[in-house]
Amino acid sequence: MHSFHVPTMSCGGCLRTVTRAIQALDPQAGVHGDLERQTIDVASTATRDSLLQTLQEAGYPAASEKVALG
């Protein structure tokens, strides 16, 4: 599972565009978005770098989210 902060994602249309871009790279990818936090969680076999590049090319530059433990 990969988590990303997508600061320019502000509405459902943005989330749909992000989801389509990721699923164009990996049709089996699962994408869960949180518009309030501007984050997405992606279940994919694609690498983190390829997902970041895909988001950048779709016009939604992102940064990896750090997962806090405990």
* pLDDT at res. 67: 53
Residue 7 within any structural domain of the chain: yes
* Residue 28 confidence (pLDDT): 96
pTM of the model: 0.86
Q: Is residue 69 part of a domain?
A: no
**For position 36, what pLDDT does the model report?**
94
| pLDDT at residue 66 is higher than 90 | no
What residue numbers bound the domain in which 27 lies?
2-64
- pLDDT, tens only, 10-61: 999 999 999 999 999 999 999 999 999 999 999 999 999 999 999 999 999 9
Number of domains in the chain: 1
SS (H, E, C) 1-38: CEEEECCCCCCHHHHHHHHHHHHHHCCCCEEEEECCCC
How many angstroms separate the CA atoms of 11 and 70, rounded? 31
Output 67 or 54, whichever has higher pLDDT: 54
